[in-house]
Amino acid sequence: MDENNNKQVNLPDGADTSCVKCSGGGCSCPSDIGRCNLTSTNWLDDVPDNDFEIVEVLFKNTRRGFYRNSAHIPLKQGDWVAVEASPGHDIGRVGLTGRLVKNQMKRVNLRKDAEILRVFRKAKPADMERYEQAKAREEDTMIRSRKIAVDLGLKMKIGDVEYQGDGNKAIFYYIADERVDFRQLIKVLADVFRIRVEMKQIGARQEAGRIGGIGPCGRPLCCATWMSGFVSVATSAARFQDISLNPQNLAGQCAKLKCCINFEVNTYVEAIRQLPAKDVHLETKDATYYYFKADALKREITYSTERNAPVNTVTLTAAQAFEVIALNKNGVKPDTLKPEDNGKKDAPFGDLLNQDAINRFDKKKKKKKKKSGNASKGAKPEPSNEAETKDDGNNAAERRQPRQGKPKRPQQDGKQQQPVDGQQPRREKPQRMEKKTFRPRRSNDSGVSDNGHGQGKPKNE
């Protein structure tokens, strides 16, 4: 039952509610395996002829192994199996079957001459009972082994203990900054616990991924959720991205450099290659400009007249910088380095789409068209522009007097007539010029001119 949503969740077979992902029904890893990111999706499961003799088996603390299913036992993902170990047997869970196992073997760089052990059988109830008894001894063994290491004066930290499925062997995971001679420790542990002892060194990243936690980004640690391999992180990756070299900001919970610094470094490296080199300076007639800083993703470079101080800084695009460099190679020095839009500042944030307005969903009232003529005599006219709305004291006094008859409109030469109270102002129509047709008189040889109607009269008449 999900406590938050109060809904019944159908968990896979063997899923433990102590796992965060399993409690939501999205993962099938048990709590004793400890890492959800070890499970793989078999996307070839429904493909016919997806048979491969070797299967992948998962154990505790990111440990996995490849075993040969020589007996051709029908296995599927999630089955508990008893596999061969040295000595005895171990208990694990099938993580992947089919042809994808071959790809997994290549990914982990498994040698071709490596010995591949066998799968004995599916785990029986007696095998699981013995396995649970051995697992219950791990915490007490870890605490006692830490005290023994301190008594022996060894500079190491035992982080975890993993018992084999039959309880005859245990793997001690430890962290140490220097080389440690633990031969005496192995003898003491074998005598105290009556088991075979194997020491395995792990790094701080593996320990942080095994413990888990929340990162500074507010999300679960990548090493505890999806990362199964760790790549070395260098401070040069932070320099490429112009990240402040502050150890407190660059270090993760494992006290090592954050793995996420490597996620975008390749993008920044490719962008920096398309910018001018840092040691190239630009020559102008007024000064010499040196590289100061750059924004690789925006393809902008800032130059300064001083090498180590921001003095008279000018920001150019990569294309503009390459143009100036080409001019300098030809012996030409531009007058100035400032581009035309250098003085323009970025526009402040504004609500361009009116998303912040309270009345953005209100329907705007459409203005009704005013009717001209006698239809609008009874209605009081509304001023249509600002010039008509401005009245002085005289007009206000006239507006208070009762209306008597229809006043005459005063004529003003060259000026627009002022509106009369209570009446709709009329617009004067421009006077049209009358078209006159001029027909020229035609003269003939007889000295009589034609007036256009075929009737002529003598010129001297």
Residue 355 lies in a domain: no
Residues 278 and 301 grouped into a single domain: yes
Q: What is the pLDDT of residue 326?
A: 93
At 54, the pLDDT band (50, 70, 90 cuts) reads very high
Picking from 255, 271, 287, the residue at the C-terminal end of a domain is 271
Residues 261 and 281 grouped into a single domain: no
Residues 140 and 180 grouped into a single domain: yes
Residue 414 lies in a domain: no
Picking from 329, 344, 368, the residue at the C-terminal end of a domain is 329
Euclidean distance between CA atoms 256 and 233, whole angstroms:
9
The residue segments making up the domain with residue 142 are 132-207
Give the highest mean pLDDT range of 48-52, 88-92, 388-392. Answer: 88-92
**Vertex 152 angle, CA 146 and 153, to 5°:** 90
Which residues, including other chains, have CB under 8 Å from residue 295's CB and lie 6 or more apart? 301
Residue 292 lies in a domain: yes
At 66, the pLDDT band (50, 70, 90 cuts) reads very high
With a cut of 60, say whether residue 205 has pLDDT above it.
yes
Residues 53 and 118 grouped into a single domain: yes
- For residue 89, CA distances in Å to 29, 171, 442 come to 21, 14, 133
Residues 7 and 54 grouped into a single domain: no
Q: Which residue has the tokens 């035309």?
A: 340
Count of domains forming the chain? 5
Residues 146 and 195 grouped into a single domain: yes
Percentage of the chain with pLDDT > 90? 34
Q: Which of 3-12, 251-260, 324-333, 429-438 has the lowest mean pLDDT?
A: 3-12
Q: What is the pLDDT of residue 327?
A: 92
With a cut of 90, say whether residue 141 has pLDDT above it.
yes
Residues 254 and 278 grouped into a single domain: no
- Output the pTM of the full model: 0.54
Q: What is the pLDDT of residue 202?
A: 87
Residue 69 lies in a domain: yes
Residues 262 and 280 grouped into a single domain: no
Residue 76 lies in a domain: yes
- Output DSSP code: residue 289: E
Picking from 329, 351, 370, the residue at the C-terminal end of a domain is 329
Residue 94 lies in a domain: yes
Residue 93 lies in a domain: yes
Q: What is the pLDDT of residue 114?
A: 86
Residues 252 and 280 grouped into a single domain: no
More confident residue, 289 or 211: 289
With a cut of 50, say whether residue 211 has pLDDT above it.
yes
Residue 400 lies in a domain: no
At 291, the pLDDT band (50, 70, 90 cuts) reads very high
The pairs formed by 63-70 with CB atoms below 8 angstroms and a separation of 24 or more are 63/162, 63/171, 64/38, 64/95, 64/108, 65/92, 65/117, 66/101, 66/104, 66/105, 66/110, 66/116, 67/116, 67/117, 67/118, 67/119, 68/116, 68/117, 68/118, 68/119, 69/118, 69/119, 70/118, 70/119
Q: What is the pLDDT of residue 187?
A: 93
Single-letter code of the amino acid located at 426: R
Q: What is the pLDDT of residue 112?
A: 82
CATH label of the domain that carries residue 190: 3.30.300
Residues 49 and 114 grouped into a single domain: yes
More confident residue, 318 or 398: 318
φ/ψ region of 167 (left if φ > 0, alpha if ψ in -120 to 50, else beta) reads left
Residues 178 and 236 grouped into a single domain: no
Euclidean distance between CA atoms 157 and 163, whole angstroms:
18
Mean pLDDT of 316-341: 86
